[in-house]
């Protein structure tokens, strides 16, 4: 290449005495009296440059500032006993005899050091922020993950990559759409797809067997640490004629392969991935996206305290309420401050408080030990398998909120005690979601999660079972507490779809008006099919050990759904509005 013979991460001792040409950014500049060293950086790494004291280039070198772009020529030489083991090129340096300054950077908006500027500034100058080593490597990792997924699915699992439309129709279900006005059809709008869900099901009806794409999805919803406002990418997959177990097997193979080919020390804990029924996962973890890298599962001890002399426990042992317990090993020696901090955290999450008992020398100690009857003590020991030094934390209240609050408290405790290993991938499947739930506000049966999944038992279950007892062929794949994807075996039978919607109050005409194209496709011979769509952003987050999605996306929006670098969203001209037949009125 004209600008360089090698890149800045390439040179080794085998290149000593070779003449080379490098180009890149000035990473650091160090002056030691008569000697000057510069580390030159490009996409591939850094190389140390050396300028001799009597070099005619020193007047140019003295002009250089961090992030200036230069092109150099020189001879590779050994650093002898001055090796820098932190650099891949740390055994060599280049003695420079030619220097071309392409551009001088006078002042950066912020220094590229370990001190992070505020996020607004980072996003405004994202093209500079992306030069940071960690962030730069995150984007490289993202590219590697997408490449390896695509390669494996095509070459090993016989999937086809098919692109589906970006301009589509607004859906009455799901999150809020982004809409696009149509110039050719005044007053009508496209919508950006929240997911290619309907298209990929129609592809199965078209005779394709295994589909995937790295799909861009658009949802007008609030930002979270693990969810970007506006847009995100997912590994969208669908298969014809699969069982739920066969889908699980294919996805597990894919993630096991991905872990083998990535540069990581993370290990998958269990293969096949554990399968945990929805009701069990809510009982044990208080969430349907459990982090199972550690223990601290919740136990329901309500029955033990139905006749308790401790009024709070007795009141919450009744139906619709609960007493949950978490056992922590080897913490009976901890001071009261430890338990007080857990109590304060739970109250901030909405609990009325946390009670605790210490189990020491075959007896219970603690603030509520005096209320404990002998049979209650024995039942606790047996149900919770207590050993000396254990401590039991209790949280009581209404069933649903108590499980969620104590589930979040469980994570807090694990972090506080450093119980979460960072080098493992604890995948699991959450299965057997309920198909229906009772909507107390509207006093009616409603769909619980996905109305288009197949009910377990098919039409027979819809006809003969209590709707609240029907389970769905719906599943989530979870890793380290992140939900990577929901998925399902789809309902491909019009008769079953009509019956399912009838139970929640939709007549046949309403179903036809909202989902007529799907009913039509299913009426002309639809195979059993199913799939899922693991989120690319979240996969990269896990492998990059990042807690914020914006650290694994090249050009993310801020939490207000603004692109500060490009200035989006922005107003458009009156001419554009006229072409679209749109008049803007800002409502109060």
* N- to C-terminal Cα separation, the chain: 59
pLDDT of residue 348: 95
Q: How many residues does the chain have?
A: 588
pLDDT of residue 141: 98
What confidence tens digit (pLDDT) does each residue in 63-120 have?
Answer: 999 999 999 999 999 999 999 999 999 999 999 999 999 999 989 999 998 888 999 9
Helix then strand count (H, E) for the chain reads 16, 24
For the packed helices 508-523 and 494-503, what is the interaxial angle rounded to 10 degrees? 160
The answer to whether residue 225 scores a pLDDT higher than 70 is no
Number of Cβ within 10 Å of residue 1's Cβ equals: 8
**Cβ contact 357:364 at 8 Å:** yes
Chain-centroid distance, C-alpha 449 = 20
pLDDT of residue 228: 76
Q: Report the alpha-carbon distance of residue 447 to residue 435 in Å, rounded.
A: 6
Q: Any residues with CB less than 8 A from the CB of 430 and at least 6 apart, and which?
A: 276, 277, 278, 281, 288, 289, 290, 475, 476, 478
Q: What angle do CA 245, 251, 252 make, to 5 degrees?
A: 85
Q: Report the alpha-carbon distance of residue 159 to residue 212 in Å, rounded.
A: 7
**Cβ contact 92:79 at 8 Å:** yes
Q: Provide DSSP, 94-152.
A: EEEEEEEEEE-----SS-SSSS---HHHHHHTHHHHTTSHHHHHHHHHHHHHHHHHHHH
Q: Report the alpha-carbon distance of residue 34 to residue 52 in Å, rounded.
A: 8
Q: Report the alpha-carbon distance of residue 352 to residue 279 in Å, rounded.
A: 24
Higher pLDDT, 115 or 167: 167
The answer to whether residue 172 scores a pLDDT higher than 90 is no
Number of Cβ within 10 Å of residue 335's Cβ equals: 7
What confidence tens digit (pLDDT) does each residue in 503-556 have?
Answer: 999 999 999 988 888 899 899 999 999 999 999 999 999 999 999 999 999 999
- pTM recorded for the entire structure: 0.92
In degrees and rounded to multiples of 5, residue 524 shows phi and psi of -105, 25
Binned at pLDDT 50, 70 and 90, residue 226 comes out as: low
Q: Report the alpha-carbon distance of residue 29 to residue 104 in Å, rounded.
A: 14
Distances in whole angstroms, Cα of residue 575 to Cα of each of 172, 178, 181, 567, 568: 31, 22, 14, 20, 19
Binned at pLDDT 50, 70 and 90, residue 463 comes out as: very high
Q: How many CA atoms lie within 13 A of 276 on its CB side?
A: 26
pLDDT of residue 174: 66
pLDDT of residue 34: 76
State both tokens at 313: 């426990």
| Residue-averaged pLDDT of the chain | 94
**Cβ contact 559:525 at 8 Å:** no
Q: Any residues with CB less than 8 A from the CB of 161 and at least 6 apart, and which?
A: 150, 153, 154, 211, 212, 213, 214
Distances in whole angstroms, Cα of residue 370 to Cα of each of 61, 308, 337, 338: 78, 11, 21, 21
What confidence tens digit (pLDDT) does each residue in 193-222 have?
Answer: 999 999 999 999 999 999 999 999 999 987
**Cβ contact 538:482 at 8 Å:** yes
Domains of the chain (ranges, CATH numbers): 13-103 (2.40.50.140), 115-274+421-433+472-492+527-564 (3.30.930.10), 294-419 (3.30.1360.30)
- Containing H/E element for 430? strand 427-431
- What torsion do the CA atoms of 482, 484, 485, 486 make, to the nearest 10 degrees? -20
Distances in whole angstroms, Cα of residue 586 to Cα of each of 81, 237, 569, 583: 70, 40, 15, 10
**Cβ contact 280:286 at 8 Å:** no
**Cβ contact 45:6 at 8 Å:** no
What confidence tens digit (pLDDT) does each residue in 373-403 have?
Answer: 999 999 999 999 999 999 999 999 999 999 9
Q: Report the alpha-carbon distance of residue 99 to residue 57 in Å, rounded.
A: 7
Binned at pLDDT 50, 70 and 90, residue 170 comes out as: confident
| 422, burial (CB in 10 Å: exposed 0-12, middle 13-18, buried 19+) | exposed
Q: Report the alpha-carbon distance of residue 229 to residue 556 in Å, rounded.
A: 9
pLDDT of residue 173: 59
Q: Look at 112-121, 215-224, 286-295, 569-578 and tell me which has the smallest mean pLDDT.
A: 215-224
State both tokens at 237: 């997959």
Q: Report the alpha-carbon distance of residue 98 to residue 271 in Å, rounded.
A: 57
State both tokens at 256: 């096991």
Q: Report the alpha-carbon distance of residue 508 to residue 524 in Å, rounded.
A: 18
pLDDT exceeding 90 applies to what percent of the chain?
88
Q: Which residue has the tokens 């950006």?
A: 192
Please write down the HEC assignment for all residues of 63-86: CCCCCCEEEEEEEEEECCCCCCCC
Q: How many CA atoms lie within 13 A of 419 on its CB side?
A: 19
Q: Report the alpha-carbon distance of residue 545 to residue 141 in Å, rounded.
A: 12
State both tokens at 341: 């901090």
């Amino acid at each position: 290449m004209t600008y360089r013979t090698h890149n800045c991460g390439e040179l080794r001792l085998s290149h000593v005495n070779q003449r080379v040409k490098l180009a890149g950014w000035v990473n650091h500049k160090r002056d030691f009296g008569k000697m000057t060293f510069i580390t030159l950086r490009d996409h591939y790494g850094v190389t140390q440059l050396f300028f001799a004291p009597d070099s005619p280039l020193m007047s140019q070198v003295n002009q250089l500032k961090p992030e200036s772009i230069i092109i150099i020529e020189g001879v590779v030489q050994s650093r002898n006993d001055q090796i820098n083991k932190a650099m891949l090129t740390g055994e060599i340096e280049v003695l420079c005899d030619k220097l071309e300054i392409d551009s001088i950077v006078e002042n950066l908006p912020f220094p590229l050091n370990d001190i992070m500027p505020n996020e607004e500034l980072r996003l405004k100058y994202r093209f500079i922020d992306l030069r940071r080593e960690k962030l730069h490597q995150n984007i490289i990792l993202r590219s590697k993950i997408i490449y390896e997924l695509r390669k494996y699915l095509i070459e090993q699992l016989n999937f086809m990559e098919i692109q589906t439309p970006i301009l589509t129709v607004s859906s009455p279900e799901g999150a809020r759409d982004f809409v696009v006005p149509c110039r050719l059809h005044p007053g009508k709008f496209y919508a950006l797809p929240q997911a290619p869900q309907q298209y990929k099901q129609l592809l199965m009806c078209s005779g394709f067997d295994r589909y995937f794409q790295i799909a861009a999805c658009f949802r007008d919803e609030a930002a979270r640490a693990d969810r970007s406002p506006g847009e995100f990418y997912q590994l969208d997959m669908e298969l014809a004629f699969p069982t739920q177990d066969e889908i699980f097997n294919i996805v597990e193979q894919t993630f096991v392969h991905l872990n083998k080919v990535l540069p990581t020390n993370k290990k998958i804990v269990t293969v096949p991935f554990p399968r945990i029924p929805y009701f069990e996962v809510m009982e044990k973890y208080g969430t349907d996206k459990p982090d199972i890298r550690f223990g601290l599962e919740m136990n329901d001890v309500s029955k033990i305290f139905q006749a308790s002399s401790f009024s709070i426990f007795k009141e919450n042992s009744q139906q619709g309420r609960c007493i949950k317990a978490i056992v922590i090993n080897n913490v009976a020696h901890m001071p009261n401050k430890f338990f007080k901090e857990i109590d304060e955290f739970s109250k901030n999450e909405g609990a009325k408080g946390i009670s605790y008992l210490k189990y020491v020398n075959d007896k219970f100690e603690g603030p509520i030990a005096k209320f404990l009857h002998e049979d209650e003590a024995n039942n606790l020991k047996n149900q919770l398998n207590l050993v000396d030094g254990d401590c039991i934390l209790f949280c009581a209240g209404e069933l649903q909120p108590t499980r969620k609050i104590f589930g979040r408290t469980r994570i807090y405790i694990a972090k506080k005690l450093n119980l979460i290993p960072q080098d493992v991938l604890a995948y699991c499947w959450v299965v057997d979601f309920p198909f229906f739930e009772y909507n107390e506000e509207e006093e009616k049966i409603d769909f619980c999660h996905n109305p288009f999944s197949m009910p377990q038992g098919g039409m027979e279950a819809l006809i003969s079972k209590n709707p609240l007892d029907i389970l769905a062929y719906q599943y989530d794949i979870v890793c380290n507490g992140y939900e990577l994807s929901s998925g399902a075996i789809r309902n491909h039978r019009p008769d079953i779809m009509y019956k399912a919607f009838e139970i929640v109050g939709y007549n046949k005409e309403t179903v036809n008006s909202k989902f007529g194209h799907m009913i039509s496709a299913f009426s002309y011979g639809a195979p059993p099919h199913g799939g899922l769509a693991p989120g690319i952003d979240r996969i990269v987050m896990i492998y990059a050990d990042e807690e914020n999605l914006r650290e694994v996306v090249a050009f993310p929006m801020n939490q207000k759904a603004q692109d500060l670098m490009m200035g989006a969203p922005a107003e458009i001209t009156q001419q554009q509005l006229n072409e679209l037949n749109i008049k803007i009125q800002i409502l109060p």
